Amino acid sequence: MSFPSFSRRSFLIGTGVVAVPVVLAGCGFTQQSSPEGRQGTLTFTTWGTDAELAGFRSAIAAFEAANEGSTIELNAVPYEQMFTNIDAQLQAGNPPDVFRVPYYTFGAYAGREQLLDLGPLLSAEREEQFTPQAWAAVQSAGSTYGLPHHTDTSAILINRDLFAAAGITEIPETIEDAWTWEELAEIGDRLKAGLPSGTSPWAYNWQGNGVTRWLSLLFQSDGAFLDTDQVTPLIDSDAGREAVEFAASFFSQGYVPANNTIASASYASESWFSQSVAMVWSGAFQIPDAESTASFDWTATCAPRNVRGGGDFGGNALVATAQTQQPELAAAFLEFVTDADPMRDFCRGASLLPTRADLLNDDLEFDVRSELAPIFAAQAGVVQPQDVAQVASPSMSAIIPVLKEQLDLAFAGSQDAATTVANLQSGIAAATGA
């Protein structure tokens, strides 16, 4: 049996086929001249949707035009592993100058002295320009280590058709009329009775790192999980137990589909789009998608309240690394991007909420379904600074897995609220080193 042999022609063809893509390649065999340290150049690493990246690019173009000789190199990377990469780069000593970071991850870097202290570099009036809750999100050890670029908080998106099928037509339109927890449970029962089989009343958006959205329920009960020292756990309280019980009841009462757990691979929004649920907790960023994809009539309303209204302070800040060689330029860039016009344009296009006090009001506009903007603005308005400050704790990254594990156990019915809350207390204490 002879080994099948190549003909010369197929070899040449093969070489040709291979050569073309190699020529197309970015020629990465040699070092391109490195942008770091080059005078007037900043590297900016971020992830983002198309709309967000477009927003960043136009802000960068404006900054470069206004600052002769400066260049910002935008490096767009996938969200999934962004922070594994940032960690590795920080440890190896060549991180980007500027990067984007969620508020709940901010503390991990700020608390470990990896970020540039912006305190001495910012202009004096900068603090007043932001809302108090936004400012609280970027503080660490008494100084400012980033600027809040935008926020998002969860309100509720409602499938009007399914609601009508269950006979519900009154939907709160202002934050003052938002459902209380009892009213929400009633709506859940009415939906269960009136919806077609295989459909659930709602889905909650706590998948993956979204577990921080459960904290909204805690805050709505006026509870807290950390004290102002960002170390002492406070979750073992009536408010804590109440929040756990209410969330667990979503599963025991059948208000959510069985796989709407924290560890689920599918996001809550997917079950809303596929009409497996009548409503979903969601941030404003979902609006453009909903408008283009949802095949049903939909609207939005505020999240429920218990003792008070409350929400998670989602969204991202922009930070500079402590190792940057261009601290003044980095600070100038961060200030520019968080000025009124760039922020307004970014938020309008990406359907996100601004962090500036002069923008977060009734004049807020979105490119898509702008009439819903006031709902989200109002929702962001009930987020309290003391709620936000806890999320900025350096141990937040270590607290998140504790939340994920204990809450999933509570949702599965494997442990009651008191045990869950007690475990959370000790888990958080272990994470903060209390």
Partner 1 sequence: MSARPGVRRTAHRGLLVRTGVVALVGLLTISPLYWMVAVAFSTRSELLGGRELRLWPREVTLENVERVFASFPVAAWFGNSVAISLVVMILSVTTSLLAGYAFSQLRFPGSTALFFVALATLVLPVQVIMVALFRIVTDMGLYGTYWAVILPTAASAFGLFLARQFMTGIPRELIEAARLDGAGHLTTFLRIVLPLSKPLIAVLAFMSLLSSWNDFAWPLIALKENRLFTLPIGLLYLQGQSGSDYGATMAFALINIVPIAVVFLLFQRYFIAGFARSGIK
Partner 2 sequence: MRSPTPRRPGRRREALAAYGFIAPNYALLLVFVLVPLVGALVVSLQRTDGFGAGEFAGLENYARLGSDTLFWRALGNTVLFTLIVTPVSMLFGLVAATLLNTALPARPLFRSLLILPMAVSGVATALIGVLVFDQNSGVLNKLLGTFGLPAITWQSDAGPAFLSIVLVTVWWRTGFNMLIYLAGLQGIGPDLHEAARLDGAGTLQRFRHVTVPLLGPTTFFLTVLNVIYSFQVFDIVFVLTGGGPAGATSVLVTYAYETGFVTRDQGYAAAIGMILFLFALVFAAAQWRASRTKDVAE
Binding site for partner 2 (CB under 8 A): 83-84, 87, 90-91, 108, 112-114, 208, 257-259, 261-266, 270-271, 274, 276, 397-398, 400-401, 405, 408-409, 412, 414, 431
- Does 78 bind partner 1 (CB under 8 A)? Our answer is yes
20-45 burial, b at 16+ Cβ within 10 Å, e below that, comes to eeeeeeeeeeeeeeeebeeeebbbbb
Q: How many residues bind partner 1 (CB under 8 A)?
A: 47
3-state secondary structure the chain: CCCCCCCHHHHHHHHHHHHHHHHHCCCCCCCCCCCCCCCCEEEEEECCCHHHHHHHHHHHHHHHHHCCCCEEEEEECCCCCHHHHHHHHHHHCCCCCEEEEEHHHHHHHHCCCCECCCHHHCCCCHHHHECHHHHHCCEECCEECCEEEEEECCEEEEEHHHHHHCCCCCCCCCCCCCCEHHHHHHHHHHHHHHCCCCCEEEECCCCHHHHHHHHHHHHHCCCCCECCCCCCECCCCHHHHHHHHHHHHHHHCCCCCCCCCCCCCCCHHHHHHCCCEEEEEECHHHHHHHHHHCCCCEEEECCCECCCCCCCCEEEEEEEECCCCCHHHHHHHHHHHCCHHHHHHHHHHHCCECCECCCCCCCCCCCCCHHHHHHHHHHHHCCCHHHHHHHCCCCHHHHHHHHHHHHHHHHCCCCCHHHHHHHHHHHHHHHHCC
Judged by CB, which is closer to partner 2: 291, or 405?
Answer: 405
For position 79 contacting partner 1 by CB under 8 A, the verdict is yes
Give least dist CB 204 to partner 1, A.
14
Name the one range near partner 1 by CB under 8 A: 28-36, 301-309, 367-375, 388-396: 28-36
Q: Does 259 bind partner 1 (CB under 8 A)?
A: no
- Minimum CB–partner distance for residue 225 and partner 2 (Å): 17
Interacting positions 89-128 with partner 1 (CB under 8 A): 91-94
CB nearer partner 1, residue 12 or residue 412:
12
Among 8, 9, 18, 433, binds partner 1 (CB under 8 A): 18
Least distance to partner 2, CB of residue 1, Å: 10
CB of 426 to partner 2, least distance (A): 14
- For partner 2, the closer of residues 2 and 274 by Cβ is 274
The answer to the question of residue 222 lying near partner 1 (CB under 8 A) is: no
Q: Using CB distances below 5 to 8 A depending on partner kind, what does residue 295 bind out of partner 1, partner 2, none?
A: partner 1
* Residue placing its CB nearer to partner 2 in the complex, 143 or 370: 143
Q: Does 24 sit near partner 1 (CB under 8 A)?
A: yes
Please tell me whether residue 11 binds partner 1 under the rule CB under 8 A.
no
Paired tokens of 246: 């209410």
For partner 2, which is the closer residue by CB, 114 or 355?
114
184 vs 350 by CB, closer to partner 1: 350
108 binds, among partner 1, partner 2, none (CB under 5 to 8 A by kind): partner 2
**Per CB under 8 A, 49 contacts partner 1:** yes
Four-residue CA torsion sign, 63, 328, 388, 394: positive
Closest to partner 1 by CB, 90 vs 191, is 90
The reply to whether 65 sits near partner 1 by the rule CB under 8 A is: no
- Please report, as ranges, the residues that interact with partner 1 according to CB under 8 A: 1, 3-4, 18, 21-26, 28-32, 34, 47, 49-50, 75-81, 84-85, 87-88, 91-94, 198, 267, 269-270, 273-275, 283, 285-286, 292-293, 295
